Chains A and B, each alone.
Chain A
Amino acid sequence: MSTPIVELKAVGKHFRAADGSARAVLQGVDFTLREGEIVALLGQSGSGKSTMLRIMAGLIQADEGQVLYRGMPLYGTARGIRMVFQSFALFPWLTVQKNVELGLEAQGMPAEERARRAEKVIDLIGLSGFEGALPRELSGGMRQRVGIARALVMEPEVLLMDEAFSALDVLTGERLREEILELWQSGQIPTKAILVVSHNIEEAVMMADRVLIFASDPGRVRAELPISLSQPRKAESAEVRQLIDKVYELMTASSGRRGSGGGLISEREVKLQLGDRLPQADIAHMEGILETLAEEPFNGRADLPKIAEETELTDAELLEVLNALILLGFAYLTNGDILLTELGARYVKSEERQEMFGKQLLEHVPLIAYICHGLEQDKSGDLPEDLFLKLLRFTLSEDEAERALRMAIEWGRYGDLFEYNFNTGVIQRSEEDEQEAD
């Protein structure tokens, strides 16, 4: 076993809910980053993988457990750990050169040496000729090169990448990823370990020696998958495809609440609580996937990677949409395949989709059922959204509560269950509903 660099021991992180009690974002995470490995963190949104990355970067402090860097407790950002950001986080008023030199300058290094080291890295990362450019003159791919050069020039032991390629188009992202891998393989950079947070399963499988899959509510490590394929890996090769399949399966199949992985999961087993987060799924995406599933060549059953490719959604989006479909009983998962339920098949053919959608919402989404119940009880038939936001804040963080309610409103509107006035923030009984209530 090679030497550990960063160790997380039973790390937990909380946020304060509306009632003052602590809710876990991250719970009991044990993890060791060792010399010579690339580790990828995968997980659905809200699973705390980003939080874990930031704890390792020293940006936020863990509330529980221990974070050790080279055996010493980590209290803040460290010299040997640098980070590449999702939206680049370049200083727009500094030239490429100055951006790259930022960390060196902060150390108080003399200008000549700074320039020498920056030039070396700029050459290495393919930015020569752009030294004097401002970030706004560059394309996304070039900007992220600056972000990477800025981290590498510090000669970090550990390089953290927070969805570093997700803001780029697919082609640029892949190219940059390959270049990083080449640098890593050839030993041109002194970096001893890389940690990648990603929502792209293929990216994780292509890069990592080890994939950690996170579960949400609370965020924790659900599974770990070592990948022993040698580099360079081919995305089309059977081994890689198989691994991607397996990761999809791990990510979807064995959620804590849905019983153990494997066997047939009926939609009934997915029971949501009132204060749970809702999958962030666009209705158009949901219907699009249902239709794709129903058609040739899938005929009601599809391999997850295949459907991802077909719909061109990112993995994160796809998983959210699938969660929503399963939740509403339109589809179910088995062995890493997504299958259309009988209801789902009827829905695709139906003329009254909105009505069906609404019915499923009332049955499977407690928050929406609660809103509708509230509206029926209320004489005037309208309630302010703040009421529900307050309720959600007991279990969710501020942002998540907001997101959950937005989703519920969007779905509820489509299901014709209620109306919503953006200006006043009031949820109203829809007129049809009023007649039914009579």
Chain B
Amino acid sequence: MNKKRQFFPRQVVEAGGNRWDWALLPIVLAVFVLMAYGSQQMARPYELGQTLPMTLDPSYLPYYLLRTTLRMFIAMGASVIFSCVFAALTTKYRVAEKVMVPMLDILQSIPILGFLSITVTAFIALFPGNLLGVECAAIFAIFTSQAWNMAFSAYQGFRSVPAELSEAAQVFQLSGWQRFWRLELPFAMPGLLWNMMMSMSGGWFFVVASEAIMVSNQTIKLPGMGSYIALAIEQSDLGAIGWAIFAMLIAVLLYDQLFFRPLLAWADKFRFEETGGDTAQSSWLLTWLRRTERTQQIVAWFAHQLERSIAVFRLSHDGTSIRARKDQPSLVPQRVWDAVIAAVVFYALWSLVHFIRTEVGWSEVGHVVLLGVYTMLRVVLLLALAALIWVPVGIWIGMNPRWASRTQAVAQFLAAFPANLVFPVAVIIIVRYHLNPDIWLSPLMILGTQWYLLFNVIAGASTIPTELRHAAKNFGLTGWLKWRRYLLPAIFPSFVTGAITASGGSWNAAIVAEFVSWGPTTLKAHGIGSYIQEMTVAGDFPRIALGIGIMCIFVMGFNHFVWRRLYTMAESRLHF
């Protein structure tokens, strides 16, 4: 039988693929068609002043969803490339590291909305007479909400490559390019993926703001989920909000199942330590993909291209060549560089003082700092409140293995859901019952981020060693003593991890949560977030800059003085 087959042309014999291929075909085709359609729509001719048709008809929702998702993924792709380039540059060149890392630290804590109005004009000028310019501006805004933490995690991943692996790469003479693909990127992969997921949720959060763009006193609403929601809020259409929430749920579910879960399951092999606690992710789609023949061939083709590039970019000299010689780094250029940096920082400080004196005045600064304190109080109180609720719940769930994995998936899902979709509901309730917005708008800040707390605590509780549990039981620990001596210390490290994420997210959410509108009503809580939002609406650039700058200082200070300490304490003391 087999012998006969070889007389047929190769294409006929091998064209079959297997049944997995055939089953996958509709999905692949659908994705391709949608992508093609979406990108075609993005590049339509457009003149400034034209209004793009928007409707609240739910039947348009899939289309809007497609447009927004496309933007998100393009921004995500750009973020991944940015992160890799950033990490490669900073770990390779000391000069770059000295400037780029602090810069990223600052960018990371800057609320992204500020970027939008500045960049949009440039992008529109780049593609005259085409919608692509506006699209690019929107994508850039999403990019700025996604890229920084990813770049940071990639940088840290690259930096923490174990010394022996690095030596092995040297002994086996890997070139920089080879080292990047074979060692550094795989090592940084798990952290990068985790941050990608967080960035994706973060991106949804700001999609409303990034799709409605102000240019020369008119608002361009790009077709997409964000504009749909903005329009629904403008017209106080609660039904439309309901539809948007529903569509969002579907979208989050889809990209979780079709994108992140397969990626996570695939990236499982990059886990460096065999930490038993982490349960391996599984994905039906990945299993499916791995069983196909055709799709595997496509993947193999890409892998082959990569290998070819690895073969091309190799070291051309051996250790005995004079080119392998490392010159003693001369101190003079380093000193000069340090001096340049110092000069720039000094100049920046000077112009900052000058700017404050001429543009805003010191009293304004004091006022904004006070607003920052309000927001900080909110963040701290809400975190404490959330901890009070979710820590016991999380511990209880984590200790019941039957519940743990399922609930964890739900919590992860909820964290990915953009909480600002339910803000209008809060406005309606506050207006109806005449509640104080200073208090009742606050919970919105933590609505989306509390889930990080929950699922980290669950993860922590489920990894408490069995022996420790038995010991606690054996010694009859009960009541407060049990919490103080056993449960709380045991989950502390994972609690801190969750709290860091939740706190960062809450600061960012403050801008959206402290200033909420619903049709003609606008509710405003006193805080730095609402200040920034208000000034953005008014288009007052000096004050936007001031607000952003001070918020930045708050966030960095908070990270430095609170979280970093708690984190090192958790790392060194409360570790199994």
Contact = CB atoms under 8 A, between A and B. Distances in A.
Interface of A: 54, 57-59, 61, 69-70, 72-79, 81-83, 85-87, 89-94, 102-103, 105-111, 134, 136, 150, 154, 422-423
Contact of B171 (A59, A74, A111): A59
Contacts of B319: 58, 69, 74-79, 81
B467 interface: no
23 contacts: A58-B170, A59-B170, A59-B171, A69-B319, A74-B319, A75-B324, A76-B318, A77-B170, A82-B171, A89-B162, A91-B168, A91-B186, A103-B172, A105-B182, A105-B307, A106-B172, A106-B173, A106-B178, A107-B173, A107-B314, A109-B311, A150-B172, A423-B569
A105 B310 contact: yes
Nearest to B179: A106
Interface of B: 162, 164-165, 167-168, 170-175, 178, 182-183, 186, 189, 269-272, 274, 307, 310-312, 314-315, 318-322, 324-326, 569, 573
A73 B318 CA distance: 11
Contacts of A61: 326
Contact of A106 (B165, B174, B318, B325): B174
B172 A154 contact: yes
Pairs A-B, 8 closest by C-beta atoms:
A76-B324, A78-B319, A103-B172, A108-B311, A76-B319, A89-B168, A75-B325, A75-B324
Contacts of B322: 75
Nearest to A94: B182
Contact of B318 (A79, A85, A110): A79
Given A61-B326, A107-B314, A75 B320 contact: yes
Contacts of B325: 75-76
Contacts of B314: 106-108
A69 B320 contact: yes
A102 B172 contact: yes
Contact of B173 (A74, A77, A86, A91): A77
A142 to B, nearest CB: 15
A385 B551 CA distance: 37
A58, A86, A93, A154 — most chain B CB neighbours (10 Å) = A93
Contacts of B312: 108
A78 B318 CA distance: 5
Given A102-B182, A105-B310, A106-B178, A91 B165 contact: yes
Contact of A82 (B164, B172, B186): B172
B310 A70 contact: no
B164 A70 contact: no
Given A75-B322, A78-B320, 6 more contacts: A69-B319, A75-B325, A77-B172, A82-B172, A106-B315, A108-B310
Nearest to A108: B311
Nearest to B313: A108
B516 to A, nearest CB: 43
Contacts of B272: 92
B171 A77 contact: yes
A78 B270 CA distance: 29
Contacts of B167: 54, 57, 59, 83, 85, 89
A107 B317 CA distance: 10
Contacts of B270: 92-93
A83 B171 contact: yes
Contact of B320 (A72, A92, A150): A72
Nearest to B271: A92
Nearest to B163: A89
B168, B178, B182, B307 — most chain A CB neighbours (10 Å) = B168
B326 to A, nearest CB: 6
Contacts of B271: 92
A61 B320 CA distance: 12
Nearest to A107: B314
Contacts of A86: 164
A70, A73, A134 — most chain B CB neighbours (10 Å) = A73
A86 B310 CA distance: 27
A77, A110, A111, A423 — most chain B CB neighbours (10 Å) = A77
A137 to B, nearest CB: 10
Contact of A79 (B164, B173, B569): B173
Contacts of B324: 58, 75-77
B270 to A, nearest CB: 5
A347 B573 CA distance: 34
B164 to A, nearest CB: 4
Nearest to B168: A89
B304 to A, nearest CB: 8
A86 B171 CA distance: 14
A77 B175 CA distance: 12
A91 to B, nearest CB: 7
Nearest to A85: B164
Nearest to A68: B320
A389 to B, nearest CB: 16
